[in-house]
Amino acid sequence: MISEITVQELKERLASSSKMQLLDVREPEEFEICNLGGELIPLGDLPKQAGRIRQDVPVVVICHHGFRSAQAINYLTQRLGYENLLNLKGGIHAWATEIDPNMAVY
């Protein structure tokens, strides 16, 4: 079972300056359209870039709608033993529609 965080919960954590890492697993072209900052590691690059992902704080994994981030979490937990990952439910699209209506959508 993958742990999830809603966009509202993420907004509250960001506002309270909670220690966490944002990991965006979309492609660079998508990241350019809209993003929440954090580390950009496209899903296909995870095996060779996993060392950039922290294990000492919660890591919120972000994609467009939440499917690629779920794949990333499955890989990182099953292959590399990560236990601190949260899937952003609905992805960046949910953030744009529910939290930031000025954010570009695609």
* CATH code, domain carrying 86: 3.40.250.10
Just list the catalytic residues. Answer: 63
What is the H or E stretch that residue 39 is in?
strand 39-40
Strand order of the β-sheet with 21-24 is 4-5, 85-88, 59-62, 21-24, 39-40
pLDDT at 37: 93
Asked whether the predicted pLDDT for residue 18 surpasses 90, the reply is no
Asked whether the predicted pLDDT for residue 80 surpasses 90, the reply is yes
The predicted model gives 8-18 an average pLDDT of 94
Asked whether the predicted pLDDT for residue 9 surpasses 90, the reply is yes
How far apart, in whole angstroms, are the C-alpha atoms of residue 52 and residue 30?
A: 20
Give the pLDDT band of residue 1 (cuts 50, 70, 90). confident
Give the pLDDT band of residue 34 (cuts 50, 70, 90). very high
In a domain, residue 105? The reply is: no
* Confidence (pTM): 0.96
In a domain, residue 104? The reply is: no
Give the pLDDT band of residue 17 (cuts 50, 70, 90). confident
Number of domains in the chain: 1
For residue 81, give both structure tokens.
């033993």
Whole domain around residue 47: which residue ranges?
A: 4-98
